[in-house]
Amino acid sequence: DIQMTQSPSTLSASVGDRVTITCRASQSISSWLAWYQQKPGKAPKLLIYKASSLESGVPSRFSGGGSGTEFTLTISSLQPDDFATYYCQQYNSYCGFGQGTKVEIK
């Protein structure tokens, strides 16, 4: 069973800030990692797959990196629409999600 741990759980930031969220896997998952954005009352939306591939239509200020057990999601310049909760998901062995990181207004 692969455990996914995100940090921080909550992040306070301002519009224009560069923001980085970390996701760690309990064992190597190669690059089999996706990132999602979820807003209150809405379904998650795919942002990144295969650790660093940007989903079509997702703004280029979002980027993903890492491999093995440590991964990052970076928002280069935080926009008002980006305040949300972000989840990582491994798909190396079945599927498993991190516990989420809430990005809130500072």
Partner 1 sequence: QVQLQESGPGLVKTSETLSLTCTVSGVSISNYYWSWIRQPPGKGLEWIGYIYYSGNINYNPSLKSRVTISVDTSKNQFSLKLRSVTAADTAVYYCALDFRGYWYFDLWGRGTLVTVSS
Q: Which of 19, 21, 23, 44 binds partner 1 (CB under 8 A)?
A: 44
Q: Report the 10 Å Cβ neighbour count for 82.
A: 19
Amino acid 23 reads C
Looking at residue 48, its amino acid is I
Neighbouring residues of 21: CB distance < 8 A, sequence distance ≥ 6: 6, 7, 8, 11, 72, 73, 74, 86, 88, 101, 103
Candidate ranges 11-19, 20-28, 64-72, 89-97; the one touching partner 1 (CB under 8 A): 89-97
Beta carbon nearer to partner 1, 1 or 14: 1
Based on the shown chain and the rule CB under 8 A, indicate whether residue 40 belongs to the binding site for partner 1: no
Binding site for partner 1 (CB under 8 A): 1, 32, 34, 36, 42-46, 49-50, 55, 87, 89, 91, 94-100
